[in-house]
Amino acid sequence: MKRLSILLILSFLLIAGCASSKNTKAAPARQADEKQTWDMMASIPYMTDSSGGTWSYPIFQPAVPADVPGDIYTKLWNINLKTINAGKYDYDAVNFNPSRWITYNESAMSDNFTFTGICADYADYYIFVLKHDAVLLDLLNKGVITINNSTTHRWIEYHTEKNRYIIDPTWCDWDYVGEPAGVYAGNADFAEACRTSFNKDKLIEARSKEWFFRNVKTVTGDENKRVHGL
């Protein structure tokens, strides 16, 4: 019974850390041929109220890193998109039980593959896809790309000589099942905007970049730092 209680406590912590907080920041849309060399906060309009006022989400956009080869950045971005398009975050944590965690086989490379899970599933799927590229696999084996875990979360990192970048596909996703609560309750409002806003495409693209190559030096907020082991 004691062991079961400990497992239940750990499961709650992992579920809570996996979900992005209501104050998470996202990056606005940019063209593929643009290279943003600085971090910026963007304001993405999502609603016009009855008085004609425009409501916007303030969204942080990480710079395209100068110390990461462009082809590597693009490959990792494509994997990020594939992961968040396939995944639907599960606030009810149906996949927390390790015996029920997703086992990926080659069918998971299909563009039609989908899964419902938590941060471990997102990170594991990201790495599963990454391993199909020989260059990226070599970087993984050399420790340039790493799989990172805190007590409540799992994500990817890319390491250069001077910088450490977070790639967090879970926090890049806006779609979910279940009911986010507590500090994550605001995600329901954002998800609704992504489904109904006149600007939904930009909102979704923005969220997909919020934690892609986020330099750890730019991470603020106690919750964001705690979850990512900072």
Boundaries of every domain in the chain: 2-227
By percentage, how much of the chain surpasses pLDDT 70? 80
Q: Please calculate the CA angle 6-147-153 and round it to the nearest 5 degrees.
A: 35
Q: pLDDT per residue over 188-227, tens digit each?
A: 998 999 899 999 999 899 889 999 999 999 998 888 899 9
Average pLDDT in the 103-131 region? 91
CA 11, CA 2: separation in Å to the nearest integer?
14
Q: Where are the beta strands (DSSP E) in 86-131?
A: 87-90, 115-117
Mean of the per-residue pLDDT values of the chain:
82
SS3 168: coil
Cα–Cα distances (Å) from 212 to 31, 99, 155, in that order, read 15, 30, 11
Tokens 């609603």 correspond to 47
Q: pLDDT per residue over 3-53, tens digit each?
A: 434 333 444 444 456 665 434 333 333 344 455 567 878 888 888 888 888
pLDDT grade for 59, boundaries at 50, 70 and 90 = confident
SS3 87: strand
**pTM of structure:** 0.82
What are 145's two structure tokens? 């790309």
Q: Is the pLDDT at 127 greater than 90, yes or no?
A: yes
